[in-house]
Amino acid sequence: MKKNKKNNKKIMYVKAFVFIMLIIYISFGLISSAKCLKLTKYDYISDKVPSDFDGYKIIQISDLHHKNFGKDQSELISMINNQNPDLILLTGDIVDGNHTDMTPVVNLLKGIYKTAPIYFVSGNHELAPQGKDNYAKLETLFVEYGVVDLDDSFDIISKGESSINLYGAKFRSSYVKDYLDTPDTNEFNILMYHCTNYFDITSQFGYDLIFSGHTHGGIVRLPFVGGIFGNTGDVFPKYDKGVYKKESSTMISSGGLGDAKIPRFYNTPEVVLVTLYKK
């Protein structure tokens, strides 16, 4: 009888320990994903990178959704500026229709516009009916801070005696292929397109490097599994977060910065830094 009591106590202690550890695990996953900010670095090495662009640094900001990091956006601004980037890319969903306070966006642009040229492409939230008012305010800010809206357009980025081509595509949920330019594959070409889901299409056009977001890294991330939820009601999104290669294209899928309806879990908001290197 005494032996059974001891065994029951041991089982109770084990259960209590497991329960406490589970609470700690869940709490840490939620708190770290809500309060922290990280810099994710990737090196892109190719013989197509022009010599003058060897060591060229590109910052990607995606899916901000009005979120604030530190007083007056100080943490996010410092993280960006401390990298001394050559180019800053905003890959959509900087604003949405669910928030009214534009201050986090104003503070961000005010804090980085002197650091490097800034380019933007729209995401689904900027183009949604409920987001049109904030999108109009965002476009006004672009004029004030010199941000280039690259929707369905392109620009030539020059450095020294070399240049690269920067293309932007407006967010679309269908007929994406019909609106993409076909670049000169003898040159180095970058595409900004909000949605990672269409990499199977965008990779067919010969862009060397593609910057995308949208998936929020799968929102909830589990060890050895990756992202769980996509933004279109799907689960286990194919291109949730990280670097993906297909055909001659490499895509950077940013986990983004802002929140979705489901809280982030073990999915820290990120700023992406890609450094180009000549092979």
Pull the structure tokens for residue 62.
Answer: 């995606």
Please indicate, yes or no, whether residues 3 and 55 belong to a single structural domain of this protein. Answer: no
How many separate domains does the chain show?
Answer: 2
**CATH code where residue 63 lies:** 3.60.21.10
Please indicate, yes or no, whether residues 117 and 151 belong to a single structural domain of this protein. Answer: yes
Predicted local distance difference test score (pLDDT) of residue 175: 86
Please indicate, yes or no, whether residues 120 and 23 belong to a single structural domain of this protein. Answer: no
Please indicate, yes or no, whether residues 30 and 42 belong to a single structural domain of this protein. Answer: no
Q: How confident is the model at residue 40 (pLDDT cuts 50, 70, 90)?
A: very high
Name the residue with higher pLDDT: 112 or 5.
112
Burial class from Cβ neighbours inside 10 Å (0-12, 13-18, 19+) for residue 54 reads middle
Can you state the angle between helices 74-81 and 103-112, rounded to 10 degrees?
A: 30
Please indicate, yes or no, whether residues 27 and 107 belong to a single structural domain of this protein. Answer: no
Q: For the range 227-235, what are the long-range contacts, defined as Cβ-Cβ under 8 Å and sequence gap of 24 or more? A: 227/267, 229/260, 229/262, 230/197, 231/124, 231/260, 232/197
Name the residue with higher pLDDT: 55 or 26.
55
Q: How confident is the model at residue 30 (pLDDT cuts 50, 70, 90)?
A: low
Whole-structure pTM over 0.85, yes or no? yes
Please indicate, yes or no, whether residues 2 and 140 belong to a single structural domain of this protein. Answer: no
For residue 106, is pLDDT > 60? Answer: yes
3-state secondary structure of 56: strand
Percent above pLDDT 70 for the chain: 87
Interval 49-71: pLDDT, tens: 999 999 999 999 999 999 999 99
For residue 86, is pLDDT > 60? Answer: yes
Q: Rounded mean pLDDT of the chain?
A: 89
Please indicate, yes or no, whether residues 87 and 29 belong to a single structural domain of this protein. Answer: no
Residues in the chain: 279
For residue 262, is pLDDT > 50? Answer: yes
Please indicate, yes or no, whether residues 19 and 146 belong to a single structural domain of this protein. Answer: no
User: What is the mean predicted confidence (pLDDT) over 94-101?
Assistant: 93
3-state secondary structure of 234: coil
Task: Find, among 44, 41, 50, the residue nearest to 249 by Cα.
Answer: 44
Predicted local distance difference test score (pLDDT) of residue 137: 96
Please indicate, yes or no, whether residues 88 and 167 belong to a single structural domain of this protein. Answer: yes
Please indicate, yes or no, whether residues 222 and 252 belong to a single structural domain of this protein. Answer: yes
Q: How confident is the model at residue 218 (pLDDT cuts 50, 70, 90)?
A: confident
Interval 225-247: pLDDT, tens: 788 877 777 788 899 999 999 99
Interval 150-175: pLDDT, tens: 999 999 999 999 999 999 999 998 88
Please indicate, yes or no, whether residues 119 and 168 belong to a single structural domain of this protein. Answer: yes
Structural domain span for residue 202: 38-278
Please indicate, yes or no, whether residues 31 and 67 belong to a single structural domain of this protein. Answer: no
